[in-house]
Chains A and B, each alone.
Chain A
Amino acid sequence: MVKKLKLIDSKGLRMDGRKPDELRPIKIEAGVLKRADGSAYLEWGKNKVMAGVYGPRECHPRHMQNPAKAIVRCRYNMVSFSVDDRKRPGPDRRSTEISKVAGEAFSSVVFGEQFPRTSIDVFIEILQADAGTRCAGITAASVALADAGIPMRDLVAACAFGKVQGKMVLDLDKEEDNYGEADVPLAIIPRTEEIVLLQMDGSLTTKELQQGLKTGIDACKQIYQIQKEALKRRYAVILEEEETTEGDA
């Protein structure tokens, strides 16, 4: 029995009251874990994500070492209770795929050649899922990478767009994702607008896709501001002189 949900009302508003090009509320806090070299906690709508970064560190297994640069590895993991029906712990094909494309997106911004033979390991833990977890995870992990002091040419910001009941919308929630006609997760380097992650399923015309990409890029730039604020907030008051003297015996 499929009940036809009305996802967009006569005023063009969505079920949660958002306009078509409106993001769900996003909150990011940097530096929340003590053990990881860098971390970030993010809430995006009902998504709750913890990201942690270790590295650069000695790369194991050794055969994965690249003599010319650091390798960036990502592990996207949905915890068993992050979804309505308990998920079996451990990686499945979906999370393995997301881990791969997310890791590649990070590789495109990290200055890996500064750390040959090492690995930079990015861990994304989805604690509570509500559609758009890969974009939420990438957004959080990119803050964690910066928090870890990893040199990068920019942050990576991510957001999905799609089509719901004939309308192009930004940042699909769970119902829209389930019943919509298309979903396009997108990640960019906001400074240059380079697209570093792009996936799609569903059906869109070329024109719709073009429009969606434009809105998606603008949304990523909004998210970029939230990312930057989170990092700067962590070091809000820096007033005193510093001195870089050598060790003192």
Chain B
Amino acid sequence: MDTPVKREVVVPGDILDGDGLKPGAGTFSDEGHIYASLLGIRNEQSGYVNVIPLGGRYIPRPGDAVIGKVVDVGSSYWLVDLNSPYPAPLRVNEVPWRVDFGDTARYMDIEDTILAKVLDVDETRRVSLSMKDQTSRKLTDGQIVEISHAKVPRVIGKKGSMIDLIETYTKCRMFVAQNGRIWIDGEMEDMINAVAAVRMIEEQAQVMGLTEAVRSYLEGIYGKKE
């Protein structure tokens, strides 16, 4: 059992100085001081002081697993919405199938949902995707739930404990993507319960004892499980 740690909420402009600390993510320095640039939680790690955001839009990072929605189809690419400020192209040479020029829509069409990896983000934030790895695929069953990307760590839980908990009780298959989209597939009643659990985490992300609250919610439906 972890000891609860009081986390300090900081807002843009709050001073974050500390002994020998260097400015990390969500911070900036000005005239010898470190300040928060974001609304979030103050966090110190390996000599850096960071601000872990409490909200904000998802900004893609290379290697992130994301769930995308096809919003446009070109003759050699698909344009994919990631719930981020930047739509991302997925080029035909980055999919596991051999797609002839102009034949793209036969494989994936507008409104299709895909699980993909962020391949690259250049310095001007141009994003590209790939589906060439093991987990990437077109999602054909189940449903998508959207939450704030900042709450993704809570839904996953410590070493995947939260998501394991939901999957164990509901027997749903779930995938939590870094861009805040969650894919859930299972029996209808189970999916409804899994979504309710996710919504519970979303609404109470800051509350102590969340894992136990979710467990007792699921126990209330499915009975005790170990």
Contacts and interface: CB of A to CB of B under 8 A. Distances in A.
Interface of A: 37-38, 55-58, 67, 109, 111, 114-118, 146-155, 189-191, 227-228, 231-232, 235-249
State the majority secondary structure of interface residues on B. Answer: loop
A38 B57 contact: no
Of the candidates A37, A114, A237, the one having the most CB atoms from chain B within 10 angstroms of its own CB is: A237
Nearest to B123: A116
Interface in B74-118: 85-87
Contacts of B53: 149
23 contacts: A37-B57, A56-B85, A57-B57, A67-B124, A115-B85, A117-B86, A117-B125, A147-B39, A149-B39, A149-B53, A149-B55, A151-B12, A153-B12, A153-B35, A153-B37, A154-B35, A227-B11, A235-B9, A236-B206, A241-B5, A243-B156, A243-B158, A245-B160
B186 interface: no
A116 B124 contact: yes
Given A58-B85, A231-B39, A246 B65 contact: yes
A152 B176 CA distance: 29
B200 interface: no
Contacts of A191: 13, 35
Of the candidates A191, A240, A245, A247, the one having the most CB atoms from chain B within 10 angstroms of its own CB is: A247
Given A58-B85, A111-B37, A149-B150, A238 B206 contact: yes
Nearest to B210: A240
Interface in B109-154: 124-125, 135, 150, 153-154
B13 A248 contact: no
B177 A151 contact: no
B217 interface: no
B56 interface: yes
Interface string B180-194: 000000000000000
Contacts of A153: 12-13, 28, 30, 35, 37
A245 B159 contact: yes
A242 B2 CA distance: 11
A38 B28 CA distance: 22
A152 B28 CA distance: 9
A148 B13 CA distance: 15
B43 to A, nearest CB: 9
Interface in B37-62: 37-41, 52-57, 59
Contacts of B210: 240
Contacts of B160: 245, 248
B207 A244 contact: no
Contacts of A242: 41, 52, 153-154
Contacts of A116: 124-125
B178 interface: yes
A151 B37 contact: yes
A146 B39 contact: yes
The 9 A-B pairs at the shortest CB distance, nearest first, are namely A149-B56, A154-B13, A247-B65, A149-B55, A239-B208, A151-B37, A152-B12, A243-B158, A56-B85
Contact of A57 (B54, B65, B85): B85
Nearest to B2: A241
